[in-house]
């Protein structure tokens, strides 16, 4: 039941839970309830071993689910209930898919500790992605942004860091002079843990030349503090709006970086060396359109030109004139 009293109890238990995973519960929540399962899951190796960014996202999803279903017994949760919950989120397909993924993992844990015999979330289908994700920036978009935000502004520095390192916004906001070594910048991605050593592009070097060395991070708020990923994302959208670019985001510049390398005819492994994607399939999603256009150009250019053979038909004009007269009759 979604009550303020229940939610306060849950948060209190979450802050001080000590029970081992197999005990499944707390003094404030009935053992075997969904809320008790969530609290035990947060203390499990499966959850503790996740990266902090992943923990934050998953915990947020599970907490929202607990807020409405926390007092229900886990053993009463059936496949039809999971299908109904996910189906009821048709207006939020991405959120529904994220919840389904989290439920599969949470209920896998419930099976492991023998709270239930099988996972009712397995086999339940989510929604097909309705979009291709974040919009890639075109060259015209990049030019418009640069015109609106000249070298020396935070907005221009932000774009240069995103575009010429190919990194996510959460990694860009942590970059600082301590990561620069000669003409290279080092990155350890927060999402994957991948360690990257990237050459500094001339356009990025130009932007960094106007950046103070007094802060721990290149990008700081108006108060001189480092950005959070979310706070930076919100401000970057404002900068995009000022440039007349609606529907553009920081992540779209990561895609643009991959596209540019693909359009230059470089391999997916070379793109992967910059973006840090863990699989080549992920890189392929970013560069498929660029690869298609480049390969199509190469295919068309490879076609032999036979147009000069028309000169071997001296009566061709007469035949065309005759055909034209028939059409006009």
pLDDT tens for each residue of 121-156: 999 999 886 555 678 899 999 999 999 999 999 999
Per-residue pLDDT, 320: 54
Alpha helices in the chain (DSSP H): 4-16, 34-42, 45-48, 52-69, 79-87, 93-112, 139-148, 154-165, 169-172, 202-208, 229-242, 250-263, 268-275, 280-302, 316-328
Query: pLDDT means per 10 residues in the chain (329 residues)?
Result: 57 48 49 92 92 87 91 92 93 91 95 94 85 80 97 96 95 96 94 91 95 94 92 95 93 92 87 87 74 76 71 56 56
d(CA 201, CA 301): 31
User: Strands 184-188, 195-199: parallel, antiparallel or unpaired by DSSP?
Assistant: antiparallel
d(CA 4, CA 42): 22
With a CB cutoff of 8 Å and minimum separation 6, the contacts of 105 are 46, 58
| Measured distance CA(173)–CA(162) in Å, rounded | 10
How far from each other are the two terminal CA atoms of the chain, in whole angstroms?
83
> Quick one: pLDDT at residue 267?
86
Closest to 184 (Cα-Cα) out of 91, 274, 87: 274
pLDDT of residue 25: 39
3-state SS class at 199: strand
> What are 180's strand-pairing partners?
185
User: Cα(21)–Cα(11) distance, rounded to whole angstroms?
Assistant: 18
**pLDDT at position 265:** 84
Copy the structure tokens of residue 278: 């863990």
pLDDT given at position 19 = 40
pLDDT of residue 44: 94
Return the CATH number of 139-300, one of 3.60.21.10, 1.10.443.10, 1.10.3720.10, 2.40.160.20: 1.10.443.10
pLDDT of residue 316: 56
Distances (CA, A) of 57 to 33, 101, 300, 327: 22, 12, 47, 69
Question: What is the DSSP code (8-state) at residue 184?
Answer: E
pLDDT of residue 318: 61
DSSP string, 96-142: HHHHHHHHHHHHHHHHHTTSSSS-TTTT---PPPSS-SSPPPPHHHH
Listed by start position, the domains of the chain span 4-112, 139-300
Q: List, in order, residues 6 or more apart from 234 with CB less than 8 Å away.
A: none
């Amino acid at each position: 039941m979604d009550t303020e009293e229940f939610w306060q109890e849950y948060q209190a238990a979450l802050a001080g839970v000590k029970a081992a995973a197999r005990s499944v519960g707390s003094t404030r929540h009935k053992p075997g309830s969904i809320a008790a399962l969530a609290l035990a899951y947060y203390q499990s190796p499966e959850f503790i071993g996740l990266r902090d960014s992943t923990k934050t996202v998953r915990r947020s999803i599970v907490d929202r689910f607990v807020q409405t279903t926390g007092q229900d017994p886990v053993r009463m949760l059936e496949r039809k209930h999971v299908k109904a919950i996910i189906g009821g989120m048709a207006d939020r397909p991405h959120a529904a898919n994220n919840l389904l993924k989290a439920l599969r993992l949470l209920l896998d844990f419930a099976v492991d500790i023998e709270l239930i015999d099988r996972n009712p979330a397995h086999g339940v289908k989510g929604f097909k992605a309705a979009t291709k994700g974040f919009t890639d920036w075109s060259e015209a978009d990049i030019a418009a942004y640069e015109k609106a935000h000249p070298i020396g502004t935070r907005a221009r520095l932000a774009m240069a860091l995103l575009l010429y390192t190919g990194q996510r916004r959460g990694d860009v906001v942590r970059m600082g002079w301590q990561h620069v070594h000669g003409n290279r910048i080092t990155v350890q991605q927060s999402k994957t843990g991948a360690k990257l050593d990237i050459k500094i592009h001339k356009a990025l070097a130009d932007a960094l030349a106007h950046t103070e060395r007094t802060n721990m991070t290149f990008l700081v708020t108006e108060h001189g503090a480092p950005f959070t990923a979310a706070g930076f994302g919100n401000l970057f959208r404002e900068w995009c709006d000022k440039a007349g670019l609606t529907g553009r985001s920081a992540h779209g510049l990561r895609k643009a970086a991959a596209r540019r390398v693909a359009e230059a005819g470089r391999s997916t492994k070379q793109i992967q060396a910059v973006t840090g994607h863990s699989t080549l399939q992920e890189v392929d999603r970013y560069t498929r359109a660029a690869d298609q256009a480049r390969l199509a150009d190469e295919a068309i250019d490879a076609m032999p030109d036979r147009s000069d053979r028309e000169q071997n038909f001296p009566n061709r004009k007469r035949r065309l004139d005759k055909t034209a007269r028939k059409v006009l009759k």
